[in-house]
């Protein structure tokens, strides 16, 4: 796999310095911290128009975010199911 050239840029939300492939510099830039703290503005950006700074040195932050997101996705339907079916389950 050929190595992609990268350039220094800054997160469009907090200004933190980050790297981005040169072919993605026209997109909105977001560091992993700001991505995990998502804003309403960020959610309006179309898929493919946002570059997220995912590097091996910040992978633990992404992993934590993914685990928390999965917990939320599982917890909400489970709680709703229990509330609606608990009388039948007794």
Identify the pLDDT of residue 88.
64
Domain limits of the chain? 6-85
Backbone angles phi, psi at 54, to 5 degrees: -105, 105
Note the pLDDT tens digit of each residue in 13-56.
999 999 999 999 999 999 988 988 877 888 888 878 999 888 77
Identify the pLDDT of residue 48.
86
Identify the pLDDT of residue 56.
74
Q: What is d(CA 84, CA 38) in angstroms, rounded to the nearest whole number?
A: 31
Q: Is the pLDDT of residue 1 over 70?
A: no
Instruction: Enter the DSSP assignment of 49.
Output: S
What are the tokens at 42? 């960020």
pTM of the model: 0.63
Contacts for 13-21 with beta carbons within 8 Å, 24 or more apart? 13/39, 13/42, 18/53, 19/53, 19/55, 20/51, 20/53, 21/51
């Amino acid at each position: 796999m050929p190595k992609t050239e990268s350039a220094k840029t800054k997160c469009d939300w907090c200004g933190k310095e980050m790297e981005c492939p040169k072919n993605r510099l026209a997109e909105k830039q977001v560091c992993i911290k700001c991505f995990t703290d998502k804003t309403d503005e960020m959610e309006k950006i179309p898929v493919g128009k946002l570059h997220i700074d995912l590097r091996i040195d910040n992978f633990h932050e992404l992993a934590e975010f993914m685990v928390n997101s999965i917990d939320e996705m599982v917890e909400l339907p489970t709680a709703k199911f229990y509330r609606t079916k608990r009388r039948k389950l007794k």
